[in-house]
C-alpha cells in the first residue's frame, strides 16, 4: 500500500479533526497545504466569512478583489456563509462599485449570516446613500441567499419600509443603534403576503428605541406573533425606559428564551415591569452591568420572574454580573466579595427550588478593568454564592465561572 493510501482517513474523521482547528487560521493554512484531503475542509473554514466594502481597508475585502478571486476560483463561493457589508462613505464609491457588488452577491448563494454595518460619522448625504445600499443589500440577499441571521448595526434614518423588509428576510434579526426616518409611519400592510417572507423566530434589540416602539403597535403583530426568543437591552435615556421591555408582554405567551440586559446599576427594590405569566419560558438570561465591587443583590423583580407561578416551564437561569473595580480600590478590597444582602440570594435559591423540575443556575462574573486579581475574586465570589444557595449546590445545579 502506498504512503498516500496509508494516510487516507474517513471524511467524518477529517471533518472532526479540522473542526477542532476552526479558530486557528495558521494551522488550518498549514494543513490545507500538507495533504490534498485536508484542502477542501480547511478552505471552507478559512474562507467562510467575508468583510465586504467598496475600498481596501484593514481586514476588509473590496468588491473588486473578491470578484476577481471568484472569477479565478468559482468554487470558493460555496464556502462563504457569512458576510459583513460595510456601507460606503460616498456616493462616488458606491456608483463605482454597484455593478461589481451585484455580481458578487449573485454568486454568494450560501450566505446564512449577514451584517450590514453603518457609520455615524457621516452627514445627511451619507444617510440617504446608506438607506439605498441597505435596501439594495437586503433585497439582494433575499433573492440570492437563504439567511438564518441578519444584523443591522449603526444605521441612521432608516425608512420603515426598509425595516419591514429586514423583518421578513431571516428568522433571526438583530438591531443595534438603529434609528428610523419617521417612527410615525406604519410598515406596509401587505408585506406578510409577499413571496419568500420568513417568519421571525428570534429578535434582538440594543439601543434602538424607535424600532422597539414601532414593533409594539398592533399593525406590527404580523412580525412578532411567531417570536420564540427575545433579547432586549435597557436604554440609557430615562424617557425610553418605561417601554423598553414592553415587547415581553406582547410576546409573553410564546416566548421560550428571554435575555434581558441592564446597562445601569440595578438596586434590589428597582421596579421593573415584566409579565406575570410566561408559560413556555424555558431559558432566562439576565445581565447586570456597572455594579459595585461587593454589593450585588438579587433584585425583587428577578425573584418574581423566576418563580414557578410566573415561569412554570423554566429549566435554565443564567445571571451575568459585571462589576467595576475602581482605580483606588485596595488590593484587599479587589480580592474580597461579600453579599450586602445574602438573604436575597438565599430567597432566590428557595424560589427556584419550588419548581417541579430542576432549574440549572449559572453565574458568570466579569470584572473591569481586567487584572490578575480577577481569578482570586471570582473564586471568593463562588464560595460566598454556594453558601448562600445551599439547595442548588446540594443538587449540583449551581455553576460559577
Instruction: Give the angle 385-391-396 at the CA atoms, nearest 5°.
Output: 80
Q: How far apart are CA 145 and CA 108, in angstroms?
A: 7
Say if 235 falls within a structural domain.
no
- pLDDT per position as a tens digit, 130-155: 677 888 888 888 877 788 999 999 88
Say if 244 falls within a structural domain.
no
Say yes or no: 61 and 167 in one domain.
Answer: yes
pLDDT the model gives residue 227:
93
Q: How far apart are CA 373 and CA 335, in angstroms?
A: 6
Say yes or no: 289 and 391 in one domain.
Answer: yes
Q: Which helix (H) or strand (E) holds 116?
A: strand 113-117
Say if 246 falls within a structural domain.
no
- What DSSP character marks residue 269? T
pLDDT the model gives residue 193:
41
Say yes or no: 164 and 271 in one domain.
Answer: no
Q: How far is CA 216 from CA 244, 248, 395, in A?
A: 10, 10, 41
Q: How far apart are CA 103 and CA 380, in angstroms?
A: 57
Say if 237 falls within a structural domain.
no
Say yes or no: 257 and 293 in one domain.
Answer: yes
Alpha-helix runs per DSSP H in 75-159: 91-107, 124-144
Say if 356 falls within a structural domain.
yes
Say if 239 falls within a structural domain.
no
Q: How far apart are CA 208 and CA 187, in angstroms?
A: 17
Instruction: Give the angle 229-227-301 at the CA atoms, nearest 5°.
Output: 50
pLDDT the model gives residue 277:
95
Say yes or no: 141 and 265 in one domain.
Answer: no
Say yes or no: 128 and 40 in one domain.
Answer: no
CATH number at residue 108: 3.80.10
Say if 13 falls within a structural domain.
yes
pLDDT the model gives residue 70:
93
Say yes or no: 34 and 78 in one domain.
Answer: no
- pLDDT per position as a tens digit, 312-366: 999 999 988 776 554 445 544 444 555 656 788 888 899 999 998 899 998 887 7
Q: How far apart are CA 100 and CA 66, in angstroms?
A: 9
Say yes or no: 294 and 368 in one domain.
Answer: yes
Say if 277 falls within a structural domain.
yes
Residue whose entry in the numeric block shows the C-alpha cell 439601543: 207
Neighbours of 143 (CB within 10 A): 11
Q: How far is CA 172 from CA 1, 101, 215, 307, 384, in A?
A: 51, 24, 15, 28, 38
Residues of the chain with pLDDT under 70: 1-8, 119-130, 182-197, 236-242, 264-271, 290-296, 323-341, 367-378
Tell me the β-bridge partners of 257.
229, 283
Pick from 248, 242, 238: nearest CA to 286 = 248
- What the block records as the C-alpha cell of 236 is 440609557
Helices 63-72 and 91-107 cross at an angle (nearest 10°) of 30
Say yes or no: 263 and 155 in one domain.
Answer: no
Say yes or no: 173 and 63 in one domain.
Answer: yes
- pLDDT per position as a tens digit, 33-48: 888 888 888 888 888 8
Structural domain including 13 reads 8-46
Say yes or no: 320 and 367 in one domain.
Answer: yes
Pick from 119, 239, 238, 245: nearest CA to 178 = 119
Q: Total domain count for the chain?
A: 3
pLDDT the model gives residue 32:
82
Helices 25-34 and 36-46 cross at an angle (nearest 10°) of 150
Say yes or no: 285 and 351 in one domain.
Answer: yes
Amino acid at each position: 500500500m502506498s504512503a498516500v493510501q496509508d494516510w487516507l482517513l474517513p471524511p467524518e474523521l477529517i471533518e472532526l479533526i479540522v473542526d477542532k482547528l476552526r479558530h486557528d487560521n495558521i494551522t488550518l493554512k498549514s494543513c490545507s497545504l500538507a495533504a490534498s484531503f485536508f484542502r477542501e475542509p480547511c478552505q471552507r473554514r478559512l474562507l467562510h466569512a467575508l468583510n465586504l466594502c467598496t475600498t481596501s481597508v484593514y481586514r476588509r475585502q473590496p468588491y473588486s478583489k473578491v470578484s476577481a478571486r471568484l472569477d479565478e476560483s468559482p468554487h470558493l463561493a460555496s464556502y462563504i456563509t457569512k458576510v459583513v457589508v460595510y456601507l460606503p462613505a460616498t456616493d462616488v464609491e458606491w456608483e463605482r462599485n454597484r455593478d461589481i457588488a451585484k455580481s458578487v452577491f449573485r454568486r454568494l448563494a450560501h450566505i446564512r449570516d449577514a451584517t450590514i454595518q453603518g457609520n455615524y460619522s457621516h452627514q445627511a448625504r451619507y444617510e440617504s446613500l446608506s438607506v439605498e445600499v441597505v435596501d439594495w443589500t437586503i433585497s439582494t440577499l433575499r433573492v440570492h441567499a437563504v439567511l438564518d441571521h441578519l444584523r443591522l448595526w449603526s444605521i441612521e434614518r432608516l425608512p420603515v419600509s426598509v425595516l419591514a423588509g429586514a423583518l421578513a428576510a431571516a428568522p433571526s434579526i438583530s438591531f443595534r443603534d438603529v434609528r428610523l426616518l419617521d417612527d410615525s409611519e406604519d410598515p406596509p400592510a401587505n408585506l406578510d403576503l409577499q413571496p419568500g417572507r420568513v417568519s421571525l423566530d428570534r429578535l434582538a434589540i440594543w439601543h434602538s428605541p424607535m424600532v422597539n416602539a414601532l414593533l409594539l403597535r398592533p399593525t406590527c403583530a404580523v412580525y412578532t406573533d411567531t417570536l420564540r426568543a427575545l433579547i432586549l437591552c435597557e436604554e440609557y435615556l430615562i424617557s425610553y425606559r418605561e417601554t423598553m421591555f414592553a415587547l415581553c408582554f406582547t410576546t409573553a405567551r410564546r416566548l421560550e428564551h428571554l435575555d434581558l440586559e441592564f446597562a445601569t446599576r440595578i438596586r434590589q427594590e428597582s421596579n421593573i415591569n415584566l409579565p406575570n405569566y410566561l408559560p413556555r419560558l424555558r431559558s432566562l438570561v439576565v445581565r447586570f452591568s456597572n455594579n459595585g465591587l461587593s454589593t450585588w443583590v438579587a433584585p425583587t423583580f428577578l425573584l418574581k420572574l423566576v418563580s414557578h407561578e410566573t415561569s412554570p416551564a423554566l429549566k435554565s437561569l443564567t445571571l451575568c454580573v459585571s462589576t467595576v473595580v475602581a482605580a483606588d480600590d485596595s488590593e484587599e478590597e479587589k480580592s474580597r466579595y461579600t453579599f450586602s444582602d445574602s438573604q436575597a440570594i438565599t430567597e432566590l435559591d428557595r424560589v427556584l427550588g419550588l419548581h417541579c423540575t430542576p432549574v440549572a443556575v449559572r453565574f458568570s462574573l466579569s470584572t473591569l478593568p481586567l487584572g490578575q486579581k480577577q481569578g482570586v475574586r471570582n473564586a471568593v465570589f463562588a464560595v460566598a454564592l454556594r453558601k448562600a444557595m445551599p439547595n442548588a449546590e446540594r443538587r449540583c445545579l449551581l455553576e460559577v465561572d
